Amino acid sequence: MRPHKELSEKLNKIKNGITAGFVRSPLNSNEYNDEIKTLLNNITNYLDNHQGKPEDIKNQTDNNTRLWTESLSRIRSQYSSLYSAYTRLIDEEKIINRIETRAHLRALLFRFLTTLAIGTGVMLTYYFAHIWGIPMPLSRSLVSGL
């Protein structure tokens, strides 16, 4: 169980806000593969049919035909939007984990101090009972005179 349940709700709200920020929903793996195939086909078409040179691909210029550079820019924009969403989600998760770790440490310290206080209370009770001559269960020393 999470000590701060509202943190989970906060993360869900942030996730929904991030995904709502997409102009268009991100590509799934099949659509992404189709985009890559289209890019490769456009590069091949550029090199074969438009007298393109491999140096154009290396320098990312296509002599005003814009066949493959548009595909490349679409893929890059999809990747950059997904990467920024990923980093924002990871940053929020790190913040939540840090908060939860502190809460766990606080709870551990509270349990330790509570146990220590109860143990001290029991020991003081037995100490004063011994001084005043009151017999207590589990006490080894017998009180004389009673």
Domain boundaries, the chain: 5-103
Q: Which of 85, 113, 68 is nearest to 23 (CA)?
A: 85
Cβ neighbours of 143 (radius 10 Å): 13
Q: Which of 75, 96, 93 is nearest to 85 (CA)?
A: 93
> At a CB cut-off of 8 Å and minimum separation 6, what does 139 contact?
126, 129, 130
- Residues across the chain: 146
- Model-level pTM greater than 0.85? no
> At a CB cut-off of 8 Å and minimum separation 6, what does 25 contact?
none
pLDDT tens string 19-67: 666 656 666 778 878 888 888 887 787 777 767 777 777 676 666 666 6
pLDDT tens string 73-119: 888 888 888 888 888 888 888 888 888 899 899 999 999 999 999 99
